[in-house]
Amino acid sequence: MEEIGQPLVIFIASASRSGSTLLDLLLGSHPLGVSTGEVRRLQGFLLQDRRLLSLRDEDYPLICSCGKPIGQCSFWMEVEKTFGASLGETVFKTRQKRIWRSLLMAFYLAWGPAGVRLLARAWAPLRQETEIGLNCIRLHKAICSVSGASFVVDSSKSIYHYVLLHLAAPELVRLMVLLRDGRAVAYSMVRGSRAKHWKQGGMPPFLQAAKQWSTTTRGILLLSRRTPSSHRMLVKYEDLCRDPAKILEEVAKRWGFPPWEHGFQETRGQTHIIGGSPSIRFEGSASSIELDESWKQALSPGELEAFERVAGRLNRKLGYT
């Protein structure tokens, strides 16, 4: 394996429906990289536990992108062997309530990784939470060992999960902040049958989704400030779709990778990704890179006006007019 002396983990932080699976596959197509999808969901996928995964969609496939259940996938079983412990019994995802997560993130913003690690030595509940990050770093190392890769792409999206990784090994993690027009995200969140998964009555599902996008995006932008600028990169979904080769070139230059020899190659059945967009992770072909702007025709003037009230200011601040 060629050593690049660079990050073991490239973490993608984003709101849902922002293109994280596509970016994961693009980054993992590097000869020294490997795509893994939403690693924090591994235990839930292995146990086939939708409640643990907090899945709203009952039809969402709980299988590896190779087409097999995690427990029958030779790749993940080899990873478990290298990991040295049961993947089904190891916690990779927080189970704490929002108030606790908010408290830890407040500590992280105020004191940084070093300060939180110091506090965790004396406070057992905090130490137990930060150990989740250590579990994930161990898992990433096992994935690298099995795949022969030098870096793992983790598209778990949650900025809180990134904080746990950053606390565990700040020198090994790089952050990619993936943004997308909030109107497109909110529309995608409620498109088709997805609308039924939101609370009915009161605020319409589209506005609930817009509010969630705004809250998630603000949190990502705020917490990413604790990562040195040399260790983080901002990417827009629209730029990624229009010119993926340019984005990959920028990644290679920023973090010292050899250039990508090829673009988004045919990967159907060759990857072992968990979570993310089923249509992307099971197809995995260059034809998947298409800029989706269907929201422009689908949203009514009334919905656009309502979005403006809920999240328009942030959207414009990000350059979306």
Whether 193 is covered by a domain: the verdict is: no
Please report the DSSP string for 22-56 in residue order.
HHHHHHHTSTTEEEEE-GGGHHHHHHT-HHHHT--
Assigned token pair, 218: 């603000």
| Least confidently predicted of 87-91, 120-124, 161-165, 280-284 | 280-284
What percentage of the chain has pLDDT greater than the value 70?
93
| Least confidently predicted of 69-83, 166-180, 264-278 | 264-278
Whether 15 is covered by a domain: the verdict is: yes
pLDDT at 6 over 70: no
pLDDT at 158 over 60: yes
Better-predicted residue by pLDDT, 291 or 7: 291
Mean pLDDT of 86-107: 94
Whether 67 is covered by a domain: the verdict is: yes
Mean pLDDT of 14-39: 94
Mean pLDDT of 96-108: 94
| Residue 227 contacts residue 166 (beta carbons within 8 Å) | yes
Parent domain of 255: 9-181+231-289
- Give dist(CA 238, CA 318) in Å, integer: 12
**Identity of the amino acid at 38:** E
Q: Which long-range contacts (CB under 8 A, 24 or more apart) does 58-65 make?
A: 60/278, 61/278, 61/282, 64/272, 64/273, 64/274, 65/37, 65/269, 65/271, 65/272, 65/273, 65/274, 65/281, 65/282, 65/284
Contact residues for 55 (Cβ-Cβ < 8 A; gap 6+)? none
Whether 215 is covered by a domain: the verdict is: no
pLDDT at 51 over 70: yes
CATH number at residue 120: 3.40.50
pLDDT category of residue 75 using cuts at 50, 70 and 90: very high
pLDDT category of residue 202 using cuts at 50, 70 and 90: confident
pLDDT at 280: 77
Total count of domains within the chain = 1
pLDDT category of residue 62 using cuts at 50, 70 and 90: very high
pLDDT category of residue 2 using cuts at 50, 70 and 90: very low
pLDDT in tens, 244-253: 999 999 999 9
Mean pLDDT of 54-80: 91
pLDDT at 264 over 60: no
What percentage of the chain has pLDDT greater than the value 90?
80
- Other residues' Cβ atoms within 10 Å of the Cβ of residue 317: 10
Whether 30 is covered by a domain: the verdict is: yes
pLDDT at 283: 67
Whether 158 is covered by a domain: the verdict is: yes
Whether 187 is covered by a domain: the verdict is: no
Compute the mean pLDDT over every residue in the chain, rounded to the nearest whole number: 91
Assigned token pair, 252: 């290679």
Whether 313 is covered by a domain: the verdict is: no
pLDDT category of residue 199 using cuts at 50, 70 and 90: confident
